[in-house]
Amino acid sequence: MLRPGTSLFTFVMAMSMAVTALGIDTVLPAFPEIREAMGLPEGSNEVAGLVSFYLLGSSIGLLPAGLLADRFGRRSVMFGGLALYMAGAVASVFAPSLAVMFVGRFVWGLGSAGPRVAVMAIMRDSYSGDQMAKQMSFMMAVFIMVPAFAPSLGTALLLIGPWQLIFWVCAAFGVVIMFTTTRVKESLHHEHRVPLTARGVFQSCRTVLVEPGTLGYLLALTALFGVFISYIASSEIILDEVFGLGEWFPLFFGAIALLMGAGMYLNGRLVEHTGLDRMTGRVYSLALAATSVLLVVALLTDGRPNFWLFTPLIGVVMFAFQMLIPNLNSAGMQPLARVAGTAAAMLGMVSGALGSLIGLVIDRQFDGTIQPLAVALVIGTVVSASGWRWAVSAASRGRQPRP
């Protein structure tokens, strides 16, 4: 069996979460082929819905996955989610229209919620506090390697077959993960299982929502996810339409993803010594500075800056964002060990579902420049930082003894 604290355990957990990223990032290079297959005009951004509907399904599926994980255990939710993930991928292969494919992508994303919740709950069962933030960062650093290479994988698959081959490979990856995670021990003890009754569900959800600081962390994560999802969904068309470098997309996307992985790894190395709150505050300062500079550059260049100026700026922004995400998740889940599955689900569901909708709205503002994205990044970072400040203040007041 794989035991917490080992490198192999961290790797398997990362790969289990990676099914979500694989289902997004391998598909991005296939957008032109899917546009053609679905009869869409060249350059149409309607295919961005393949990302948004997937993420919407992934977010909505989190709450039922969390409740089931607290009742039946982490492994059951892991395996059930992977089965649904594979079914959605296969259904998308045979979709006769873009609308039907959106449904398949929604189901595909719904299935990805199972592994995501199971991994987060297992990590909370195994670690706490700064140690959890450290392990989460290391796990996410491994996990981010998938989006770094996934577009290149998608491009390579398109060289040897049609766009449907990408979907089949994602389904096959789900089979591999299902087999590998059979070696992970169930981390939820029977005496800690929460009854799946109306009263039990209400109590679990209420426990999460009334915990001091939770609403602030939800706001912080939602704002961050909204602009991050917009970057993911619009990066291909920005590179093509703004810079005329569509053929460079896999290399560009991979380089930024590697930088994001470096941010998570660095966070894992520093957070245990610096402290979770202090580390998060410093990274927010970096994020606010980087997004502000990007906005100024966008305004001064009418939204069409030099590619070699845009790339390092967006890289620093994504670097900071990926340091923040594991810290915010760890801080939000820290006091909720008794309902870890539900906590992971609610934090992910609310931030992911609302973030997907926010990202979809931002995507619709694309005007052939980077200005809409730059404005959204500044606003999202400011709102996220404000939510985090509120959360830290509320959690601090909640810990103070009452007179």
- Tens of pLDDT along 137-159? 777 666 666 766 777 788 899 99
Q: Which of 17-26, 238-247, 320-329, 337-346 has the lowest mean pLDDT?
A: 337-346
pLDDT at 177: 92
Number of H helices, E strands in the chain: 16, 0
Quick: pLDDT tens for 307-364: 999 999 999 999 999 889 888 888 887 777 777 778 877 887 788 778 878 887 888 8
- Which residues partner with 2 through β-bridges? 184
Q: Residue 2 falls within a domain, yes or no?
A: no
Q: Residue 1 falls within a domain, yes or no?
A: no
pTM of the complete model: 0.73
The CATH number of the domain holding residue 217 is 1.20.1250.20
**Which residue range is the domain that position 223 belongs to?**
7-398
Are the beta carbons of 83 and 31 closer than 8 angstroms? no
Q: Residue 234 falls within a domain, yes or no?
A: yes
Sign of the C-alpha dihedral computed for residues 239, 319, 326 and 248 taken in this order:
positive
Q: Residue 156 falls within a domain, yes or no?
A: yes
**What are the helix (H) ranges across 127-183?**
129-143, 145-160, 164-180
Structurally, how many domains does the chain consist of?
1
Quick: pLDDT tens for 347-362: 877 887 788 788 878 8
Q: Residue 360 falls within a domain, yes or no?
A: yes
pLDDT at 147: 65
pLDDT at 148: 66
Q: Is the pLDDT score of 199 beyond 90?
A: no
**Mean pLDDT across 95-108:** 92
pLDDT at 402: 39
Q: Is the pLDDT score of 305 beyond 90?
A: yes
**Mean pLDDT across 104-120:** 91
